[in-house]
Chain A
Amino acid sequence: MPVMPRRKRKQFYVRRKVCRFCVDANLPIDYKDVNTLRQFVTERGKIIPRRISGNCARHQRRVTRAIKQARLLALIAYTPQVPIT
C-alpha cells in the first residue's frame, strides 16, 4: 500500500483588514454619500458583510443603516434592474 503523503496544510495569509472608518475618523457615513456607500454593496445590491468589508461592528451598523436609507430614497437600487445573466 502506498503511503499517502501527508497533505500539506494550506497556508493562509491572513491580512488583517482594518475598518477604514476607524482609520479616518473624518470619513462620514451618510445616506446622501452614494459613492462611498456603493463600495459596500455588491453589483447585485447586497450589502457586503463585515467579514469581507473589514469594517468594525459599530461602523458596519452605520453603513448598513445608511445603505437602507439610501435605498428608500432611490439613491441606491435594491436590486439591479437589468437581470445579470
Chain B
Amino acid sequence: MRRYESVWVVNGDLPDEEVKSAIDKFSKIISSQGGTVVGLDEWGRRKLSYKIQGTIRGYYVLADFAGTSETVKELERNYRIDDRIIRYLTTKKSDKVNLEVLQSEIAARAKAAAPPAAPPAEPEAAAPVEAAAGDEATAAPVEAAASVEAAAPEEPAAPAKEE
C-alpha cells in the first residue's frame, strides 16, 4: 500500500447534485479498489486560471488515500471516462503506509469534522462566484501579480563618463 493524493476538478457549471454524485462516485471507486480514503477535502468552486472545455469554473476535490497502483490505475481510467471531470492529478506521497497511523489519522479527521458539524454553514454557497456568463471582458483574471523579481543586481557605479 502506498499513500496517494488525488485532486480532481469537476466542471463547475454543473448543478450541485451532479458535482456531489461525481465526488461520491470517485471516493467509492477508491474504496472499492482496495483503497482506504483518509480524507476528502472539497475546496469548492474556484475560478480556473484558464478556460477548460469552455468553462471557467471548477469544483476542486482533494482525496488523500492509501492504495495500490491498481487503485490509481482504475481511478484514473474512470477519470478519463467521466465527462464531468475536466482535470485530475494523482501524486504519491509515500511508499509505505503504516496501518495504525492511517487509522489514527482517519480518527483524527473524523474528530475534527465532528464538532463543527452543528454549524456547517456552507462556505462555498455563501460566497458564490459572481463571475456571470459574460466571461469575455468581465472575467479578467485579477491575479495579484506578486512578482518577486526584485534582486536585480544594482549598479550604483555610474557608467563611466566619456570625456
The reply to whether chain A is a binding partner of chain B is yes
Max chain B C-beta neighbours (<10 A), residue from A43, A75, A76, A78: A75
Min Cβ gap B50→A in Å is: 5
Per a CB cutoff under 8 Å, which of A4, A11, A72, A82 touches B141? A82
Complex Cα distance A76/B91, Å?
18
Chain A interface residue bracket vs B? 35 or more
Which A residues lie within 8 Å of B144 (CB)?
38
Complex Cα distance A8/B158, Å?
9
Which A residues lie within 8 Å of B146 (CB)?
35, 38-39
Per a CB cutoff under 8 Å, which of A35, A42, A73, A74 touches B149? A42
Which B residues lie within 8 Å of A72 (CB)?
87, 89
Which B residues lie within 8 Å of A74 (CB)?
9, 48-50, 52, 58, 87
Min Cβ gap B25→A in Å is: 19
Complex Cα distance A82/B141, Å?
8
Contact A2 B163 (CB under 8 A): yes
Contact B151 A77 (CB under 8 A): no
Chain B interface residue bracket vs A? 20 to 34
**B133 near A: Cβ within 8 Å?**
no
**B118 near A: Cβ within 8 Å?**
no
Which A residues lie within 8 Å of B140 (CB)?
81-82
**A69 near B: Cβ within 8 Å?**
yes
Which B residues lie within 8 Å of A13 (CB)?
153-154, 156
Contact status of A73 and B9, CB under 8 A, knowing A31-B89, A53-B148: yes
Contact B151 A54 (CB under 8 A): yes
Given A4-B163, A32-B62, A52-B151; 19 other pairs, CB 8 A cutoff? A10-B155, A10-B157, A10-B159, A11-B155, A13-B153, A14-B153, A31-B89, A39-B148, A41-B147, A43-B145, A69-B91, A71-B49, A72-B87, A74-B50, A74-B52, A75-B46, A75-B49, A80-B143, A82-B141
**B40 near A: Cβ within 8 Å?**
no
